[in-house]
Structure 1
Amino acid sequence: MSTKGLDHWGDILVVVIYFCLILGIGIWSLCRPNRGNVNQYFLAGRSMPWFAVGASIFSSNIGSEHFVGLAGAGASSGIVLVFYEWFVIFEILACAWVFLPVYISAGVFTLPEYLHRRHGRGRIRVYLSSLALVLYILSKLVVSIFSGSMFIQMALASIIALLLITGVFTVLGGLRAVMYTDTFQTAVMMIGAVIVTGYGFEEVGGFSNLQAKYMNAIPSVRNENTSCGLPKADAFHLFLDPVNSDYPWPAILVMSTLGASWYWCCDQMIVQRSLAAKNLSHAKGGSIMTGYIKLLPMFLLVFPGMISRVLYPDDVACTEPSVCEKVCDNSAGCSNIAYPKLVLELLPYGLRGLLMVVMFSAVMSSLTSIFNSSSTIFTMDIWRRIRREATQRELLLVGRVFVVFMCGVSVLWVPIIKSSAGGQLFTYMTAVEGYIAAPLGVVFLLSIFWTKTTEPAAFFGLIIANIIGGIRLVLEFVYPTPSCGEMDQRPTILKMNYLYFGVMLLFITACIIVGVSMFTSRRSLDELEGVTWWTRYSQEKPGEISLDNQSEADFETKENGPRQGMQKEDGEVEDKTVCQKILTFLFGHTDVHQIEEFLVQKRRQFLHQGRKSKILLNVNAIVLMLVIAFLTGFFH
């Protein structure tokens, strides 16, 4: 492929400055006190402000796979997949307004822990934890590395060094370091994406010209007897034919709302950011910020992908396998190179380096989120069941070692991904989440809102749904989708649109849970105290005496122990060796005691909202939903 790389000193300088800034933020986060206990390391001490929460949620979601996959979808199919950017905003708001109060009321660190407390048995916690780790390693991790390496290899040949830097930040700084670097990297991604969009629209002559030119962006080499290579007539519409289109509107509407609830409301990687907020108001403010930013991928990713097809139709829109093989080493098609091609061909020196920095930011934000969340789940849900009396020091050591393990797995994935059929691997791995993870949303919804939901119903409903989804997934891998113009000779079950299959899977899961719950014994309301929407703890009551009315400094001192030196029984401070001082700087003062419970008084304090802040947040949420309604009507 003849795409230019980063061979100019201006581009390289931009990359170097970026890494210096990232290192500066990382070192600053290491200088923050109180990193030596589980609450600080895995939940940032529940002290993060709303802007860090919002930026971290967004950057955890918008990874390199969006710059590759979403722009590629725009090039090949049009704007329809923006459903998964706009309509998920309802789920983002639901997480902060509905789900988070229940999670906080239950006093949990992880989402598998919530199901354990809700249902009273540990097997669903172990299964969900194991499932989450498998999904993180085989799906999210692979997709991030594949899409990131495909972009970066065009310019720098390897992302292994990036993986190592990412691992160092996560190991040393915990969630606080991850969220502050995410905040910086969200700003970098937004600035870079706006620049690309501006250059792209200037090149094609504005939005009206894009509409006209896109419909004529046809590759010069194609089979004239088929529709292969032709732009879709409904490329600029959201609600497509419910029967014959690839994305029927009834199915994609359900899957981008109810079907996406598992990711935005029940996935550790996303919800952990809200759990780390100072209080419920900051969590809601972060969700609103994420929602407003999620309106932008349509204009910053989808449209640039379509612009890339207009400017480079022979490469981005190729359909002949031999041509595609020469362009991107993938005979199935090259729409995934739309964004990288646009950046490295259209932008001048210096700005290409900036956009490479954007990709670094996208890869790093995704990987740090995956590493930290995986470490949290393994440590708090699996290791604590193996070592029930583990101290905080032991849990922190296990968490950091697991991050190192994840870094090693990531490095090993790089050559495997390079040698595989890239497009097929990307499609396969993204399908994993749709068929395996989507039923989780139904399990959580019924567990939270229906007090009659029982543990056997939730457990076996999830198992059966995963088996059904797994069968479909294996069949899709054995019988891949035929290329354009070929006869579809796959089994009948595979001819059912995958979105409709996803809707059916959600319905089956709900029916199993409701049916089994009717014939199994449920927990009493006393046993459900604090773990459902109807039995959750409310905000702190007026006049209630709370142990948590002490100052935050006093609470942290009590929780974390002395911040300097090692305390003796007689009150004297023991001097540390040089080695101990270095370890304290890197890892913080480590609390050797067992983890403390999130007190009910603290939970109520977290849930407390002032009248003015509540009104302001509710108004912003309503405005955001009205904006979504307007945009949906405009592009219907």
Structure 2
Amino acid sequence: MIGNIDIIISVFYILGIVTVGLWAGFKKKEVKAGTASNDYFLAGKTLKWPMIGLALFATNISCLHLVSLAQSGFDTGLLNGNFEWMAAFTLILLALFFVPFYLKSNVTTLPDFLERRYNRACRDWLAVISILSAVIIHIAFSFLAGGIVLKTLFGVNMYVSVIVIALLTGIYTIIGGLRAVVITESIQTVVLLAGAIIITVICFQKTGGWSSITQTLQDTNSLDKLSMLRPAGDASGMPWYAVFLGYPVLGIWYWCADQTIVQRVLGAKDVNHGRVGALFCGLIKLLPVFIFVLPGLMAFVLAQRGLFDVSSIQHIDATGKTITETKGIYTLMITQLVPTGLVGVLAAALLSGLMSQISGALNSIATLASYDLYQRFQPYASDLKLVKVGRISAAIALVASIALLPLLNQYESLFQGINDIIAHIAPPITTVFVLGIFWKKASAKSAQYTLWFGSLLGAIVFAVNKLMPEAAISSIPFMMMAFYLCCTCVFMQVVLSYIFPVEHTKQSAVLYWKSPLEPLRGKAWGGIGNYKFLSVLLIVIMICMYWVFR
């Protein structure tokens, strides 16, 4: 439980964010007739690179990440930091190959893009899957992590706290649209990073420095916790080859083909702002390993020395073994290691992550429901009607997300749970997007059937894993399962593209790259703002980081 001063800081922060969100939503430039929906869903395409980069990061990083990455740091060390660093490579792909297509085709949603490249059936399927994944992955899991933390910090029932946050976030998101989302996300990113840095510095000081950390890990035979790349057969189920084979499948879907994330880029002022914004986010993704994962590892070091008490999250199982419920490790770090006053700042940081993730997902759900589903049956609906439908859809999504909490709470590790689900959703979507923009012969029918049967296969494998844990495929780590499913989907679409040869329309004929070098010929900014220079710089930085923590 935290003190009154910390509660006051947290409450004032929440009220401040809601006020800013409402102000951003109401204070709009004059909207031309027939452009209300564009202004609501894409901020009138006025977003510049700093705001895009910060908003991408804020939409990705939520309370779930603070809680689950600290948990993974305590349990397995820096290993799950791969999900953060590998994202930088995927964001380079977004900047170089996907952003130009999305912006030059002037699409509002990614399902819209898929229809132009393939057919309407692909658009419908992706719209439904995108809405479901936003509800489960971006909102429900974030609510679960936030509810666990708020219950421990404030002593409030998890569902009560979640409902209050849902209502407050929903107010400014549903009213203000993407502009309100991006402005509040930019503020929340700064607060979230500040809070994470505070607890990192405090933990670092208490451990006595890096040499002291490594000495403790060596004394407890835990030095492998500092390694990002594990050998084959590692007990974690994530050896180095699983990271490099499996993550791209998850990452391309998440960063390049998921509406919730990419919508920030779709609102870019122009292609260069979209590209540099994505690369800026890739640079920021260096930070989570040090300010989200490493604090959990330092908490482990302090616990080994008896300076961090985890008894409150321990229990004795039926066999007499002591079990530590590490879901609550981040909350313990706040209450035990942080002085009064700063606890309120850290609570505000957690709320920042929770609210930014939810607001971004709600806006994308509203966009998908309006443009990709409702407008199909009501093609002449007015802009104001589309906005109204979007707002109603966002409200329904909030209710559905809360209803899913008891089911998702069954996962021991929230981070593993969310990636387990993504691993079975992503393969067919990643396949049709990558082949669609790089292979001229990828046909509409092949993409349609790959989405249908690939998603069905993923659902069957997921069900077998959960209902028949003794089955052979249940022993395959989720990262490798994602890779195997993707290989199956690629084989499926290639074969089907020859069975059902492509028949390009006027639109689809220009929506694939004629050569790998074609996307690099676009007009770019000069100097250090050149997206080619920034891409190479980011690659070099990431290689150096992996070399240090190999």
TM over 0.5: yes
Conservation of the 8 A alpha-carbon contact between 2:249 and 2:426:
no
Q: Distance in 1 between matches of 2:336 and 2:9?
A: 18
Pair 1:269–1:504, CA change in 2 (3 A): same
Q: Distance in 1 between matches of 2:525 and 2:299?
A: 48
Pair 1:425–1:91, CA change in 2 (3 A): closer
1:356: how far off?
Answer: 0.2
Aligned mate of 2:467, from 475, 478, 488: 478
Q: Distance in 2 between matches of 1:95 and 1:495?
A: 32
In structure 1, the residue matched to 2:29 is: 33
In structure 2, the residue matched to 1:57 is: 56
Pair 1:350–1:113, CA change in 2 (3 A): same
Pair 1:304–1:116, CA change in 2 (3 A): same
In structure 2, the residue matched to 1:155 is: 153
1:247: how far off?
Answer: 0.7
Conservation of the 8 A alpha-carbon contact between 1:75 and 1:316:
no
1:303 equivalenced with 2:298 (yes/no): no
- Structure with bigger helix share is 2
Conservation of the 8 A alpha-carbon contact between 1:102 and 1:530:
no
Which amino acid is 1:130 matched to?
V
1:405 equivalenced with 2:401 (yes/no): no
Structure 2 unmatched runs, 5+: none
Pair 1:38–1:68, CA change in 2 (3 A): same
1:179 equivalenced with 2:172 (yes/no): no
Pairing of 1:63-212 with structure 2 (within 5 A): 63-119=62-118, 121-156=119-154, 157=156, 158-212=161-215
Deviations 1:115-152 (A, max 9, x none): 11111x21111111111112222333221111111111
Q: Distance in 2 between matches of 1:66 and 1:84?
A: 11
1:506 equivalenced with 2:486 (yes/no): yes
In structure 2, the residue matched to 1:234 is: 224
Equivalent residue of 1:512, what SS? helix
Q: Distance in 1 between matches of 2:188 and 2:441?
A: 44
1:437 equivalenced with 2:426 (yes/no): yes
Q: Distance in 2 between matches of 1:316 and 1:443?
A: 49
Pair 1:214–1:352, CA change in 2 (3 A): farther
| CA RMSD in angstroms, aligned pairs only | 2.7
Conservation of the 8 A alpha-carbon contact between 2:99 and 2:275:
no
**Bigger shift: 332-341 or 294-303?**
332-341
Q: Distance in 2 between matches of 1:202 and 1:448?
A: 49
1:259: how far off?
Answer: 3.5
Q: Distance in 2 between matches of 1:128 and 1:277?
A: 22
Pair 1:430–1:624, CA change in 2 (3 A): closer
Aligned mate of 2:412, from 413, 423, 427: 423
1:417: how far off?
Answer: 6.1
1:425: how far off?
Answer: 7.2
In structure 2, the residue matched to 1:454 is: 443
1:411: how far off?
Answer: 4.3
Q: Distance in 2 between matches of 1:194 and 1:332?
A: 29
Pair 1:320–1:374, CA change in 2 (3 A): closer
Which amino acid is 2:21 matched to?
G
Q: Distance in 2 between matches of 1:212 and 1:257?
A: 34
1:14: how far off?
Answer: 1.7
1:439: how far off?
Answer: 2.8
Deviations 1:526-565 (A, max 9, x none): 45233222399x99xxxxxxxxxxxxxxxxxxxxxxxxxx
Which amino acid is 1:346 matched to?
L
In structure 1, the residue matched to 2:337 is: 346
1:468: how far off?
Answer: 2.3
In structure 1, the residue matched to 2:13 is: 18
Conservation of the 8 A alpha-carbon contact between 1:92 and 1:291:
yes
Pairing of 1:296-335 with structure 2 (within 5 A): 296-312=287-303, 322-323=315-316, 333-335=324-326
Conservation of the 8 A alpha-carbon contact between 2:375 and 2:381:
yes
Pair 1:343–1:295, CA change in 2 (3 A): same
Deviations 1:292-344 (A, max 9, x none): 1100111101110111222235988889983489xxxxx97422222221112
Deviations 1:66-92 (A, max 9, x none): 111111111111112211111211111
In structure 2, the residue matched to 1:379 is: 370
Q: TM-score, normalised by structure 1?
A: 0.79
Pair 1:256–1:388, CA change in 2 (3 A): same
How many pairs align? 534
1:345: how far off?
Answer: 1.1
Q: Distance in 1 between matches of 2:223 and 2:243?
A: 19
Q: TM-score, normalised by structure 2?
A: 0.91
Which amino acid is 1:515 matched to?
V
Which amino acid is 1:394 matched to?
K
> Which is higher, the Rg of structure 1 or of structure 2?
1
Which amino acid is 1:634 matched to?
V
Pair 1:353–1:190, CA change in 2 (3 A): same
Conservation of the 8 A alpha-carbon contact between 2:90 and 2:255:
yes
Structure 1 unmatched runs, 5+: 218-230, 326-330, 481-489, 540-606
Q: Distance in 2 between matches of 1:385 and 1:294?
A: 37
Equivalent residue of 1:322, what SS? strand
